Amino acid sequence: MNNTIRTYYVVAGTLLAILLLSSCSELKSDLPSASNTGLNVHPSGWLTTASGEFHGKYVQANGFQISSCQKCHGSQYTGGTVGVSCVTCHYQSSPAENCTACHGTPSVNPAPPRNLKGDTLRSAAGVGAHQVHLLGGSKSLSLPCNACHVVPTTLLSTGHLDNSTGAEVRFDTQRLVGSGQSYTSATGTCANTYCHGNFPNGNATNTVVWTDVSGNGATCGTCHGDKNLSDPEDRARPKTISAGGTHPDKGAFGTTKCANCHGSVVDASLNIIDRSKHIDGRIN
């Protein structure tokens, strides 16, 4: 290579380097400032329950159409292209569409406390007496969710997410003895239910408040008997023959103790000793 050609390549190379340096300098001035916070797709309060930007509130306001989350978090919400799993906070062994993702307690059961609004107090209509019905209490066994609700097979099952206010309550007469049961959302009351008195010799017109926090809604004398009487046995005694019912009158057979006839269900102190034989649709 002669000196003329060598000189040409040196000059050309120098000009190219100057152009590249100039272009990079101009590009650098247009770049945003460096940040270590990562890319924020969601608002800052997305994971904060108390925030107005909390994702639960967003999902609820948009009809619970969480399938759009699958685009980034994967079909099972376990990470997807962004590598962020929804089930880290939601039910560990199921996708985010598990019942407890929206209401109830993960790894416990899907019934409130923690309703769709985040309420946990029994005085809230969405919480009420869910747990004592689902788990049972000292006087009765548990009731399944489908005794009072239509349980959907998937999140988007027909009738699950609709425009109605609150959850629909419909009593399953295949599981609950009797008929005519009703729930009035305006007052939060149940009426004509077998569980609370709608049975022979019971207090058929007894109405119970779903959000009652006193614990007196199922004491002896409310479902059968008379809660205003002083003697415990009198309070518990169902409607007697002399009062127009069919239960033996007080003192019949020489006894006033419930346990003398119903000893497999209740003891002498009126404690229920076998919940499976109380409120079970038959007289034991």
Tens-digit pLDDT profile for residues 173-212: 556 666 788 899 899 999 999 889 999 999 998 999 999 9
Q: Would 98 be classed as within a structural domain?
A: yes
Query: Closest Cα partner for 261 from 237, 243, 239, 279?
Result: 237
| Residue 92 and residue 85 in contact, taking contact as beta carbons nearer than 8 Å | no
Tens-digit pLDDT profile for residues 95-148: 667 888 788 987 889 999 988 888 899 999 999 999 999 999 889 999 889 888
Tens-digit pLDDT profile for residues 217-242: 888 899 999 999 999 999 999 999 99
Q: Would 81 be classed as within a structural domain?
A: yes
Q: Would 151 be classed as within a structural domain?
A: no
What's the pLDDT score for residue 284? 86
Q: Would 66 be classed as within a structural domain?
A: yes
Q: Structural domain of residue 92, as residue ranges?
A: 54-102
Q: Would 85 be classed as within a structural domain?
A: yes
Percentage with pLDDT > 90 across the chain: 32
Find where tokens 């906070």 sit: 89
Q: Would 168 be classed as within a structural domain?
A: no
Q: Would 108 be classed as within a structural domain?
A: no
How far is residue 148's CA from residue 193's CA, in Å, rounded to a whole number? 11
Calculate ∠ Cα 162-213-91, nearest 5°.
50
Calculate ∠ Cα 118-119-124, nearest 5°.
150
Tens-digit pLDDT profile for residues 154-180: 777 888 877 777 788 888 755 666 678
Distance from the Cα of residue 128 to its chain's centroid: 11
Could you tell me the pTM of the whole model?
0.72
Distance from the Cα of residue 62 to its chain's centroid: 19
Within 159-248, residue ranges assigned H as helices are 232-236
Q: Would 40 be classed as within a structural domain?
A: no
Q: Write out the two tokens for 236.
A: 């518990």
Quote the number of domains for the chain. 1
Q: Write out the two tokens for 284.
A: 């034991």
At 163, which amino acid appears? Answer: N
